[in-house]
Amino acid sequence: MATPDDRPDPELPRDPDEGSSSGDTGAGSGGIGFGSGGAGRGGGGFGGASGGFGFTGSPQGPSGAQNPFAGTPFEQLMGAFTGAFGSGGAMPDLGAMMAQMQQLMAPQEGNVNWGIATQVARQTVAQQPDPTPHDGERSAAADASRLAEHWLDTATELPAATSGIAVWSRAEWIEYTTPTWKRLVEPIAEHVVSAMGQALPEEARAMAGPLIGLLGQAGGAMFGQQIGRAVGELSREVMSSTDIGIPLAPDGTSALLPANVRAFSEGLDQSPTDVMLYVALRECAHQRLFASAPWLRSHLLSAVEEYGRGTAIDLTRIEEALSNLDPTNMGAIQEALSGGLFEPQQTGVQQAALVRLETVLALVEGWVDEVVAQATADRMPAAAPLQEAIRRRRAAGGPAEQTFAALVGLQLRPRRLRDAATLWGSLRDRDGAAARDAVWAHPDLMPTAADLDDPLGFAAGKRAAEANEDFDAALAALLDGPAATNQSDTDETDTGQVDTGQVDRDQAGAGDDLDAPGSGESAGGADPDVTGSEDQPR
């Protein structure tokens, strides 16, 4: 399918992390909270280090005035009034306003209003064309999947996890991945809401009374709106169900998004067919890994939940900021809200969770890079430039980087992913693909963050540990050899296979024969295993 291409590779943005091996785990000030930013790159939210799920949007109202409701669920509601009366517009649609208010205040399960989240995500997708995959794209994806599985069989011991591949539009991706988003987001939202409630003084909670419940619903609506906007933006970029490093689709489901694959291939010198095949290879490799390591998915989700459990609100900082705030200055209020006033502060527990999460995500992506590189070696000339394009995409803020920057404020370092690929490749070179894949059998066998600091040393250390175990086992067998032989002689005596008269005579003269010359022959008879072992290969 792939053909050699002599055209030069496209000019791609330089990897900002290239050549750097230092730096702590990137941990922005994001996470679900009241941070700044929206759902696009560079401004917080998905793809921003200072954002997360929180107040977003332009602070400017329709007439250019500061809008304190910008980015909140009340933005459209209040915009109806300012649009109608502030700019000489028509009367607002009161029915639509009441419907929005009812949706905001409707009962919700959990700490996120997922009805609003789904609606906002679909509205975000609808802002651009979202074509339904046609039969030609379905056939191309199926062919790419079959060839990918065949090639992967030669590169890994892990078996194929699915029998086919689905083809989705962006709206379908939102629909099928929402259950997994709930598992990812709910623990964070739960602990953020809990931390905010605990930060209120006892007197304030008593005075608020029933309003506490309304505040919880309003918070759930705000979370829902921001999550929906972020997921909608993400749906325009993901090319498969595992593009963020975690399988978002239902168990056993592989999926590609042809519209996004086609958009990714624009500007590259590789053909759309090669791009589709390469994305299918990565998707199938991810599916094999998560199916063969059932603990892996829950391990990643638990790291996200652990981050949520460490959420803490700095009440002192909030009180100091509010004491200096002019309630009549709407611009100052908006600035305080968008500046992360209520944003949770990162704790030591959260930092440890981020290190754990980054390490596992890097190991997953590094393994996929390594296996796909082996599967395409000498088969697909376009694989190397496509791998480079994927790497540049990560450095610029790919779907995985956007997701975890917004979810927990984690900035995935491209260098970390390359170190992980080096570690898996080194282990394969030393011990073979089977040994490389066997590490995924249990979380206790997994490399640590320290191992990623020295990826070549992990394979060497594993080989040294195995050599020590083999030496210890051989030494134990050597020392146990004479004892085992003497025990065998005793057993023969007990069964009567040895002349009892001779045994009596030996026992009677045992004390006299200890130093006799003939005793050496007797001792020598107890060592055939030791002598013979020298002739056996070790």
pTM: 0.68
Strands 26-27 and 255-256 turn out to be: unpaired
Residue with the larger pLDDT of the pair 425 and 66: 425
pLDDT at 331: 72
Say which amino acid occupies 60: Q
Tokens at 430, concatenated: 């030393």
pLDDT at 2: 47
Alpha-carbon distance of 48 to 229, in angstroms, equals: 14
488, pLDDT greater than 80: no
169, pLDDT greater than 80: yes
Q: How confident is the model at residue 497 (pLDDT cuts 50, 70, 90)?
A: very low
Q: How confident is the model at residue 402 (pLDDT cuts 50, 70, 90)?
A: confident
Alpha-carbon distance of 328 to 335, in angstroms, equals: 13
Cβ(261)–Cβ(210) under 8 Å? no
Cβ(362)–Cβ(452) under 8 Å? yes
Cβ(289)–Cβ(367) under 8 Å? yes
Q: What percent of the chain has pLDDT over 70?
A: 57
- 3-state class of 352 per DSSP? helix
| HEC sequence for 402-431 | HHHHHHHCEECCHHHHHHHHHHHHHHHHHH
pLDDT at 95: 62
At residue 334, what are phi and psi to the nearest 5 degrees?
Answer: -60, -40
Secondary structure element (H or E) that encloses residue 112, with its range: none
* Least confident residue range of 54-58, 75-79, 121-125: 54-58
- 3-state class of 88 per DSSP? coil
- Over residues 269-281, the mean pLDDT reads 97
Say which amino acid occupies 191: H
278, pLDDT greater than 80: yes
* Least confident residue range of 138-152, 190-204, 222-236: 190-204
Q: How confident is the model at residue 290 (pLDDT cuts 50, 70, 90)?
A: very high
Say which amino acid occupies 117: A
Residue 309's CB: how many other CB atoms inside 10 A? Answer: 16
At residue 346, what are phi and psi to the nearest 5 degrees?
Answer: -70, 135
CB under 8 Å to 139, separation ≥6 — which residues? none
Residue from 74, 399, 23, 440 nearest 243 by CA: 399
Residue with the larger pLDDT of the pair 452 and 468: 452
- Over residues 441-469, the mean pLDDT reads 80
Alpha-carbon distance of 385 to 391, in angstroms, equals: 10
pLDDT at 364: 97
- Over residues 372-381, the mean pLDDT reads 96
Q: How confident is the model at residue 102 (pLDDT cuts 50, 70, 90)?
A: low
pLDDT at 268: 94
64, pLDDT greater than 60: no
Residue with the larger pLDDT of the pair 105 and 270: 270
Q: How confident is the model at residue 173 (pLDDT cuts 50, 70, 90)?
A: very high
Q: How confident is the model at residue 454 (pLDDT cuts 50, 70, 90)?
A: very high
- 3-state class of 447 per DSSP? coil
Residue from 219, 235, 158, 223 nearest 184 by CA: 223
For all residues of the chain together, what is the average pLDDT?
73
* Least confident residue range of 152-156, 278-282, 412-416: 412-416
Domains and CATH numbers, the chain: 106-346 (1.20.150.30)
pLDDT at 351: 87
